[in-house]
Amino acid sequence: MRPCTPRPHRRRTFAATTLVVAGLTAGALPAISGPAGASEIPRQARQAAPEELKEVFFVGNNWEGTADVIKSRGDYAKIGRIDMIPDKKERLREIYLNPVKLAFFLGIRLGPGEGHDQYVDDMYTTNDGKSVVASRPSFADVVSIDVNSGKINWRFPVSGFRSDHMAVTPDGTQVAVSSSISNTVHVLDMATGKEAGSFKTGDKPHENVYTDGGKYLWNMAIGEVNTDMDAPWQDFTKGDRRITVADAKTFEVKKIIDMRERLDAFGRKDLSDALRPVAFTPDESTMYFQVSFFNGFVEYDVQNDKITRVKTLPKNPDTSDERTTYVNDSRHHGMSMSPGGDKLCIAGTMDDYVSVVNRETLQEGPLVTASKPYWATVSGDGKHCVVSESGSDQVTAIDFSTGKKVLSIPVGDHPQRVRLGHVPADWTGPATS
């Protein structure tokens, strides 16, 4: 079966500099669990917007430095666009006058940026819908931008030289951001940008997820992904990859989960332990995650701390098995879960398809052709899986019930993260745009 249209894949050409931070030691800690609520989409984004606000999607166009704002359901029509790098000249001047910053800036361009600068990665709006907070990898910072004026409210430079994935607390007051080179997660006040606290992680912290109603913050470290040392026997070169679970108020590390041990115990020593996107069930009892190089995903029992199933998804016959051709080691990158917890939506990044999987049987549905799908989330009404197609600069909605494509909407250059948010009810874009 030929699931999708062939597309040429680019080989990485640059080995980014890695700063090694002393690892945390795992201890014998009780299992962390709690009430329902963990999700790729924060709880405050799922609530109905007040009358003066409207729910929208923010689509981060990573290489372009813009965010397209589109409807969160229905026809997903474009509402407006925000320039996420209004201070570009100032930032570039600062970078080019500092040889160390310049080295990392160019390293990001030639490594994870695939020859492009990474201007906008992750985004969340404030509760009042007046501002959008975004991480900007190439500028190594987090900024808050006024959605009406397009001007920067505050800027927080992360430790190290690159910012990455974020997560917002269920009450929308704080945002966590991974600093992927300093192996640190910073937690910031959404209104002021002031740091509330931080904690250390494994090498190259990536995904962040709040659980237990915001009591804990999970961080997944993916290790080094920008070298060509991708053969299984070279796995030791990838660094310290782990899940770090921290108390969201004190920022004390409560638990460290080494998936290498769990994968080995399940009999899958062949799989990488570098966790990519994750999705929790509504009751937080089970977590699903993708790993580097693998066309599929893993099911993890949170309460009993063990892997229970591994699902291998179809390969695109036009996708090479040569690991060095996978962008940032990601064979599949992007997953979300239907609000009822019965379906998983999987972005088969290098295999150029998206599929909705039955969570009970793990049977995949139709393979919907998509060009380098990079992220998967859930529509505002919960009916659709919404994916960013970074290879064709569009966002595509797929019906959870049928697994079939609904429609696609053109956006900017190289869309990655897609997040639910809010803007004023009459908003159509910044006054300066």
Overall average pLDDT of the 275-296 stretch = 96
Q: Domain range spanning residue 359?
A: 54-424
Q: Check residue 87 and give its pLDDT.
A: 98
Q: What is the pLDDT of residue 432?
A: 58
* pLDDT for 390 beyond 70: yes
Q: Which two tokens stand for residue 372?
A: 């380098």
pLDDT category at 34 given cuts 50, 70, 90 is very low
Kindly list the strands in the beta sheet with 306-312, ordered across the sheet, starting from the edge strand earlier in the chain.
275-280, 286-291, 296-301, 306-312
CA distance 48 to 41: 14
- pLDDT level of residue 5 (50, 70, 90 thresholds): very low
Instruction: Report how far residue 199's alpha carbon sits from residue 36's, in angstroms, rounded to the nearest whole number.
Output: 25
Q: How far apart are CA 254 and CA 32, in angstroms?
A: 9
pLDDT tens, position by position, 321-369: 998 889 888 999 999 999 999 999 999 999 999 999 999 999 999 999 9
Residue 89 falls inside a structural domain: yes
SS3 of residue 252 by DSSP: coil
Compute CA distances 293 → 72, 301, 361, whole Å.
31, 22, 23
Judge whether 11 lies within some domain: no
pLDDT class of 190 with cuts at 50, 70, 90: very high
Q: Which of 165, 22, 208, 180 is nearest to 107 (CA)?
A: 180
Buried b (16+ CB within 10 A) or exposed e, 156-190: bebebbbbbbbbbbbebebbbbbbbbbbbbbbbeb
The count of structural domains within the chain is: 1
pLDDT of res. 16: 35
Strands (E), 25-107: 53-61, 66-71, 78-83
pLDDT tens column, 117-148: 999 999 999 999 999 999 999 999 999 999 99
Determine contact, residues 161/137, Cβ cutoff 8 Å: no
Contact 357, 347 (CB under 8 A): no
* CA 309 to centroid of chain Cα atoms: 23
Q: What CA–CA distance (Å, rounded) separates 323 from 336? A: 25
Nearest C-alpha neighbor of 199 from the set 216, 222, 224, 223: 216
Residue 64 has pLDDT above 80, yes or no: yes
Q: Which CATH number belongs to the domain containing residue 282 in this structure?
A: 2.130.10.10
Specify the amino acid at residue 146.
D
pLDDT at 1 (0 to 100): 41
Does 431 reside within a domain? no
Residue 282 falls inside a structural domain: yes
Residue with tokens 């160019």: 106
Residue 16 within a domain = no
313 belongs to a structural domain: yes
pLDDT on residue 50 = 63
Q: Is residue 189 part of a domain?
A: yes
Residue 148 lies in a domain: yes
The residue-averaged pLDDT of 288-316 equals 97
Record the pTM. Answer: 0.89
Higher pLDDT pick, 32 / 87: 87
Q: 16-28: per-residue pLDDT in tens?
A: 333 333 333 333 3
